[in-house]
Amino acid sequence: QVQLVESGGGLVQAGGSLRLSCAASGRTFSNYDMGWFRQAPGAEREFVAAMPWSGGSTRYADSVKGRFTTSRDNAKNTVYLQMNSLKPEDTAVYYCGADARGSWYSSYAYRYWGQGTQVTVSS
């Protein structure tokens, strides 16, 4: 079992930055592919970014490419999502997922989820 806890969300003006963290505990974190998703009110959970256990070959949604960067520190059992040039349409609850069994782009592939952290971007 893996427990995930997201943090770092908040209220920011358009054009600002936030860094989200996802701290993992439980089983060996370094073995897991990790993903970030977000969910706005009334919308489905959508893919934001993903990173394999090795830390290479990250993937991003087109809507965040060039603005968001994900990274991981296996020694700290933590994954990060650096979000720059934030836009009002980035407003959502952001979730990290662990242990993808299938396509990184699908939320159904991930076995473990955190509780989410709210990001609100004002115009």
Q: In sequence order, what E strands does 27-122 have? A: 34-39, 46-51, 59-60, 68-73, 78-83, 92-100, 110-113, 117-122
* pLDDT greater than 80 at residue 66: yes
Place of tokens 């592919």: 33
* Predicted pLDDT of residue 58: 93
* pLDDT greater than 90 at residue 1: no
* Predicted pLDDT of residue 121: 98
Bigger pLDDT: 75 vs 122: 122
